[in-house]
A = this chain, B = another copy of it.
Amino acid sequence: MSIENTDMKSFIAISDIISLLNMSSGFLSIICSINNNFELAAILMIIAIMFDSVDGWVARKTNRQDDLGFGKNIDSLSDVISFGAAPAIFLYTCINTTPSIFEIAVMLVSLLIVICGVLRLTRYNVIAGKIDTDDFIGLPIPCISFIMATLYLSGLFHPILALILAIAVSLLMISNIRYPKFDNIPIIGLSCILILILILPININIFNINPAGLLLLLFCLYYLIINLIKR
């Protein structure tokens, strides 16, 4: 390869811009967490998951040539911001508004999220295409953002519950447990409708609980637990 061919423009495709939109949503979620705007931070984490779930599809639809692995690399580097740093900072800043919780413990759990996220992504990158199963090995990394966001938006956020879930999800990410790909079309369709209800400015709360957020949280926890038991 000659140096003239290393011009950035020659690498970037539409699907890579979508990966960057995933990363930008994750980064802006961090900024919102810092400014104590946790509702918007949670919504931005969910938007990041939506961008992440379409970049691969767009790459296939646009017949993206990716012999060098630029698309795979930019996807993975974007994920570590959106599903590593963003949920970790969300947890840290959100709990720190409650002064009774021991700050060092919260910081260590936040750090655990990022460490397990980096390890999960690294292992995925090195085993993808080399392993004889279609399942994910270890809980997929967007689950940590999804659980933190739906826990907050459902109205059920409690520091201790959030910390326990964060530790459990982080350890499941780096575990060897097989998680099947989501292919249940009715559940995917229903989830998309619930996500729209959750992120649009429609306020449907029953006894301070948002039913759309609660249902999405329960879907994710069911997926997490049922495959843990099946093991």
Contacts and interface: CB of A to CB of B under 8 A. Distances in A.
- A: contact size bracket: 35 or more
A176 B30 CA distance: 30
Contact of A119 (B74, B107, B115, B178): B74
A77 B20 CA distance: 15
A78 B85 CA distance: 11
A176 to B, nearest CB: 5
A161 interface: no
Contact of A89 (B30, B92, B114): B30
A182 B183 CA distance: 50
Given A3-B137, A85-B85, 10 more contacts: A2-B132, A3-B131, A6-B127, A11-B122, A20-B119, A23-B114, A34-B89, A69-B126, A73-B121, A73-B125
A37 interface: no
Contacts of A132: 1-3
B11 A123 contact: yes
B77 A3 contact: no
Interface in A136-186: 137, 174, 176, 178
A191 interface: no
Contacts of A28: 107, 111
A61 interface: no
Nearest to A78: B118
A133 interface: yes
Contacts of A118: 20, 23, 74, 77-78, 81
A84 interface: yes
Nearest to A125: B73
